[in-house]
Amino acid sequence: MEDPSRLLAAAHGAGVSHPGGIPPPPSAGDPAAAAPPPPPPHRLQPGPPPPGHQDTGDILQQIMAITDQSLDEAQARKHALNCHRMKPALFSVLCEIKEKTVLSIRGIQEEDPPDAQLMRLDNMLLAEGVSGPEKRGRGGPTTVAATSGGCPNDNSIEHSDYRAKLSQIRQIYHSELEKYEQACSEFTTHVMNLLREQSRTRPISPKEIERMVNIIHGKFSTIQMQLKQSTCEAVMILRSRFLDARRKRRNFSKQATEVLNEYFYSHLSNPYPSEEAKEELAKKGGITVSQVSNWFGNKRIRYKKNMGKFQEEANIYAAKTAVDATNVVAQGNQANSPSTPNSGSSGSFKMTNSGDSFINLQSLTSYQSSPVGANVQSQMDSLHHVIHQTGRYDTIVGNPLYTTQRIDANGSWQDATTPSSITSPAGDPGSVNSDASN
């Protein structure tokens, strides 16, 4: 901002010799200066100024006096200046001087690197849907499939509360932003008007105006950045409050649990779905891949810890799988497709803590599996039955013998030791149903 006193000085002509912008005492020829300024009410330095500081004291006095002048008086002075006969000449001198000094001004600008922080904030706000277009509404199946990243926030579909709050933030952000922009443009026009006004008494290049506008915009963008920053903070807090899955745990849909369990129990020998299998399961269940991974992680450990507890469940899914498998077998018979494997043999995955009887059972199953056969099945059934009755199958048995049989009957057990499951999630009979559904 220009110092008003400088203008005054410039207009007086003598001011040219005072680069400091301090106006000299009014000349006698100046009609506007005819009336001596009223004495300042408050002297900063009472008493006579020390020698050598005489000028400064005077000047100071005048500056102080300006504040006491009425607006009308000032206007009158200004008008007088504009009408002064020497004005055009002085003005041109001023222009000349300005021309010379403008070079030194030029270097000052040129510091406008795209602010990294601002960009970060912008990106985040955009990602959160605060800035930019209205956030994509609820995710259809496409969204679910697309966002299988691992970010647990996909569940936001259910968090209508979260969305409401977010849109509130969004609203506030936009209204504030608008306010700032309005204020900025108002202020800019105000300053431009001022400069235009001033350009009558001093030369102002367009570059200078531009620079001024840039400065103003810079100042306002600093404020905007603060706004963005606090908006980001608000969103972060909101997120942590609403989307922290530990706080808001939602059970999976029945469909999801179904799909996962089917896979798990039909691949009990190796319940480690490949990445593709996980994706497939995620798609079928309408959850994310990382949720699938979590689920399998939890399932494995919990199943292992307490197989007895899962017995019933295992049987249910085993039966289910068996039906499917039977259907498949009935149609295509064994052997044909290498991708219709099978699945699981009984809980063979590193079940070190299981009882001996289980192990025996296990080995029995596996050894006899390849030959196939209904007799094996019945053997197993009875064995299972016995164990079931005798006793406390908690740590002893676990698991879907039925499945084992069926699947072994498919003859892919050997492969199954190493994940047959991994090879073909899609073609797997264990998940046949879901294939049909999709």
Partner DNA sequence: CTTTATGATTCACA
Partner DNA sequence: TGTGAATCATAAAG
Sites of contact with DNA (CB under 7 A): 152, 155, 244-252, 257, 272, 275, 287, 290-291, 293-298, 300-302, 304, 309, 349-350
Between residues 304 and 406, which has the closer beta carbon with respect to DNA?
304
Q: How far is the CB of 226 from DNA (least distance, A)?
A: 29
Shorter beta-carbon distance to DNA: residue 295 or 413: 295
Q: Are 224 and 178 in contact (CB under 8 A)?
A: no
Question: What minimum distance in Å lies between the beta carbon of 419 and DNA?
Answer: 9
Count Cβ atoms below 10 Å from residue 8 Cβ, excluding itself. Answer: 23
Q: How far is the CB of 154 from DNA (least distance, A)?
A: 8
- Min dist CB 238 to DNA, Å, is 15
| Integer Cα distance of 29 and 392 in angstroms | 118
3-state SS assignment for residue 250: coil
Q: Which is nearer to DNA, 165 or 304 (CB)?
A: 304
The per-residue DSSP string of 124-154 comes to: HHHHTTSSSSPPP-S--HHHHHHTTTS-GGG
Of 131 and 348, nearer to DNA (C-beta) is 348
SS3 for 274-294 is: CHHHHHHHHHHHCCCHHHHHH
91 vs 242, beta carbon nearer DNA: 242
**SS3 (DSSP) at 373:** coil
Residue written as token pair 């199958």: 393
Q: Which is nearer to DNA, 265 or 295 (CB)?
A: 295
10 Å CB burial of residue 369 (0-12, 13-18, 19+) is buried
Q: How far is the CB of 321 from DNA (least distance, A)?
A: 19
Q: What is the closest distance, in whole angstroms, from the C-beta atom of residue 191 to DNA in the complex?
A: 50
Q: Distance between the two ends of the chain, CA-based, in angstroms?
A: 69
The two structure tokens encoding residue 174: 């936009």
Structure tokens at 83: 């009408």
